[in-house]
Structure 1
Amino acid sequence: MPLVLYLLGLAVFAQGTSEFMLSGLVSDIAADLDVSVPAAGSLTSAFAVGMIVGAPLMAVLSLRWSRRRALLAFLVTFLLVHVVGALTTSYGVLLATRVVGALANAGFLAVALATATSLVAPDAKGRATSVLLGGTTLACVAGVPGGALLGQAWSWRAAFWAVALVSLPAVVAVARSVPSGAPASAHTSARAEARALRSPRLVVTLLLGALVNGATFCAFTYLEPLATHVTGIGDAWVPALLALFGLGSFAGVTLAGRLADRRPMPLLVAGSVALLGGWTAFALTAGHTAATVAWAFVQGALSFAVGSTLIARALYAATAAPTLGGSFATAAFNIGAALGPWAGGQAIAAGLGYRSPLWVSAAMVALAVAVGALAAGGAAARRSEGRAPGRAEVTPAPARTSAPPRP
């Protein structure tokens, strides 16, 4: 893999840290800015909504720029809004920085996916995708726990400064290492790319990606109360458990990078079934410490192996729309990141307990398996119908000849 992909992964690490780190900083932000805890929690929702809306919107705006210019514009904007967020004493300003930062993040990731897949062989999109998403998993391993520790040691503002500082070398790396190239609109247009996104295969792949990722973040978001209230793990061990989930995620992305290009369907089928069984087993055994520790790693690995493979398949299905294809994959990923925690929260609010998000995750994966099976069956039926007339035309019945004249 080209070195530039790992440099792009560094930027994705900083952005992933920013997206998820508020889960450990909500109480401090609420106390410092004199707002309620739900209001502080809405900062995470604002970021997710910005990612969903911003991915296609920013991708369209960037079509007239070279990829290096687009990546730099998005990354510098992302850096600056974190400086503003670290300095502000206004909740409204902080909320605005989260939305703008999400827009920049979404645009960067969409262009980065297009850039990464353009720098590798046509059959290596899965490996390139795994390198970028490795930055997100490393954010779960180190960035999110690190942000929580900075918040405990100094304040939540220190975590914002850390994200800005980590973004700085990524800016330099992109400026020096990413080829400039021609604007994307020199080769295509937003309308042409949008037409290419009507593929049923792409739509199904994006839907599956949203469901699988929704299941992932439904469970991940409520892993802390599950561990402390159901399993009985002490608060001091929660960061280690979150990091273990992140290590599993990194292992899953690495595995997907090796298999997603060569054997995607066996990985998706076996991984999805195992993922469904894992969430179910996790819900049933969450009262045992050893089970919770083991399932945190295993489900992190399975979730990101299947999720990153689905993103790679979306990029394969959108070869005629490289920029908007990446943006829709980004949007689908974040629809899941917003939908899953909301659904898990609704289950808890209904009085179903802290195990209920695991059952919600299992239900979302079960729905994904059902949708995938129906789509595969429909595609097989269409192929069968398409082949039937062809065989009749290729092997016509032999012509009947007249009998030889009698002597």
Structure 2
Amino acid sequence: MPFAIYLLGLAVFAQGTSEFMLSGLIPDIARDMHVSIPAAGSLTTAFAAGMIVGAPLLAILSLRWPRRRALLVFLTAFLLVHVLGALTTSFGVLLATRVVGAVANAGFLAVGLATATGMAGPDAKGRATSVLLGGTTLACIVGVPAGALLGQQWGWRAAFWAVAVVSVPALLAILRSVPATAPDPARTSARRELRALRSPRLLVTLLLGALVNGATFCTFTYLAPLVTHVTGFGPGWVPAVLALFGLGSFVGVTAGGRLADVRPRQLLVTGGALLLVGWVAFAVTAGNPVATTVLVFVQGTLSFAVGSTLIAQALYAAPGAPTLAGGFATAALNVGAALGPSFGGIAIGAGLGYRAPLWVSALLVALALATVGVARGVRHRTPHHPEEAPAAAPAAP
């Protein structure tokens, strides 16, 4: 892999820390801003909503920009809104900074995926995607627990300042390492890329990504109150639990990167089935500290192995639209990231307890597996169109 791809992962690390760190800060933000825990959980939903809007929109707007310029603009905006978020005393302003930061993050990730997979070559999209998303998993292992520790020691605002600080070296690394190539007019037409997004295989892959990521975020957003109120861990254990989930996510992305280019169907079907079993087992045994510890790691592994493979499959399904495919894949994942915490918050608000998001996660994965079954049945009844499945990787859904 070209070294510049790893440097893009540094920026994704800062962004992933911002996206995931709220799971360890929700109770403190709720107290400081005088809102309920489900209301504070809406910050995660707001971030996901910004990603949904920003990914396809900024992917289109940036098509005629040099990719390095686009990456620098998006990352600078991301940095500045975190400074504002750290300073504000208004929950409404904080909510707005999450939306704007997410829009910038979405644009960066869409362009970053196209840049990384372009550098890696046509038959290594899965590996390039796993390297880039490795920044997110490292955020779960290091950034998110560190943010939780900062929050406990100096308040949740310290975590926002830390994200802004980490973004500075990422900016310098992109400036020095990503080639300043001009866009190719023959390959940067929004109309051309939109035409390439008509593949039914791509649409199914995007739907699966939304459902699987919804399951992940549904539980992860409320992981801190789950392990303290249901499992019985003290608040000091929350960073360790988050780090364990992050370690599992790193293992999952690494495994997904190795298999996504050669055996995507086997990984998605087997991993999806195990993911469903894991969410059900977690819901049943959440009061047991040993079972919770094991399943936090296992579910982190399975969630990110399946999720990263779905992103790679979206890129394979639309080889003629690398930027917009990355943008729509990002948007789809964040549709799930928006709906998952919302459904989890509704379940908690209805008095079903902090164990309820686990059952919602299980339901979302069950819907994903049902979608795979329906899609395969329809595919067998429909004449095959070879152009919908590029030779570089087998069609997974």
TM-score > 0.5, shorter chain as reference: yes
After superposition, residues 232-381 of structure 1 pair within 5 angstroms as 232-381=232-381
1:62 Cα deviation from its structure 2 partner: 0.4
Task: Give the match's secondary structure for 1:25.
Answer: helix
Please name the residue that 2:19 is paired with. Answer: 19
1:380 Cα deviation from its structure 2 partner: 2.4
Q: Deviations over 1:325-347 (max 9, x none)?
A: 10000001111111111112222
Structure 2 CA distance for partners of 1:297 and 1:41, relative to 1, 3 Å: closer
1:126 Cα deviation from its structure 2 partner: 0.4
Q: 1: distance between equivalents of 2:182 and 2:133?
A: 26
Please name the residue that 2:95 is paired with. Answer: 95
| Percent identical residues | 74
Q: 2: distance between equivalents of 1:43 and 1:385?
A: 43
1:92 Cα deviation from its structure 2 partner: 4.3
Residues 75 and 171 in structure 1, CA contact (< 8 A), matched pair in contact too:
yes
1:95 Cα deviation from its structure 2 partner: 3.3
Please name the residue that 2:395 is paired with. Answer: none
1:26 Cα deviation from its structure 2 partner: 3.9
Q: Deviations over 1:269-294 (max 9, x none)?
A: 11111111111222222222211111
- TM-score computed with the length of structure 2 as normaliser: 0.92
Task: Give the match's secondary structure for 1:350.
Answer: helix
Task: Give the match's secondary structure for 1:214.
Answer: helix
Structure 1: tracts of 5 or more residues without a match: 387-407
Residues 41 and 221 in structure 2, CA contact (< 8 A), matched pair in contact too:
no
Please name the residue that 1:389 is paired with. Answer: none
Residues 41 and 341 in structure 2, CA contact (< 8 A), matched pair in contact too:
no
1:259 Cα deviation from its structure 2 partner: 0.6
1:177 Cα deviation from its structure 2 partner: 0.9
The alignment status of 1:163 with 2:174, answered yes or no, reads no
1:135 Cα deviation from its structure 2 partner: 1.1
RMSD after superposition: 2.0
Higher alpha-carbon deviation: 32-41 or 96-105: 32-41
Q: 2: distance between equivalents of 1:30 and 1:276?
A: 31
Residues 227 and 233 in structure 2, CA contact (< 8 A), matched pair in contact too:
yes
Max Rg structure? 1
Q: 2: distance between equivalents of 1:175 and 1:160?
A: 23
Residues 24 and 239 in structure 2, CA contact (< 8 A), matched pair in contact too:
no
Structure 2 CA distance for partners of 1:339 and 1:42, relative to 1, 3 Å: closer
Q: 1: distance between equivalents of 2:335 and 2:173?
A: 30
1:93 Cα deviation from its structure 2 partner: 3.8
Q: 2: distance between equivalents of 1:209 and 1:371?
A: 11
Task: Give the match's secondary structure for 2:382.
Answer: helix
Structure 2 CA distance for partners of 1:93 and 1:346, relative to 1, 3 Å: closer
Higher alpha-carbon deviation: 212-221 or 107-116: 212-221
Higher alpha-carbon deviation: 191-200 or 350-359: 350-359
Q: 1: distance between equivalents of 2:317 and 2:238?
A: 39
Q: 2: distance between equivalents of 1:385 and 1:178?
A: 37
Q: 2: distance between equivalents of 1:39 and 1:290?
A: 30
Structure 2 CA distance for partners of 1:37 and 1:374, relative to 1, 3 Å: closer
1:369 Cα deviation from its structure 2 partner: 0.6
The alignment status of 1:69 with 2:69, answered yes or no, reads yes
Structure 2 CA distance for partners of 1:184 and 1:322, relative to 1, 3 Å: farther
Q: 1: distance between equivalents of 2:39 and 2:352?
A: 24
Structure 2 CA distance for partners of 1:371 and 1:359, relative to 1, 3 Å: same
Residues 24 and 238 in structure 2, CA contact (< 8 A), matched pair in contact too:
no
Q: 2: distance between equivalents of 1:158 and 1:183?
A: 39
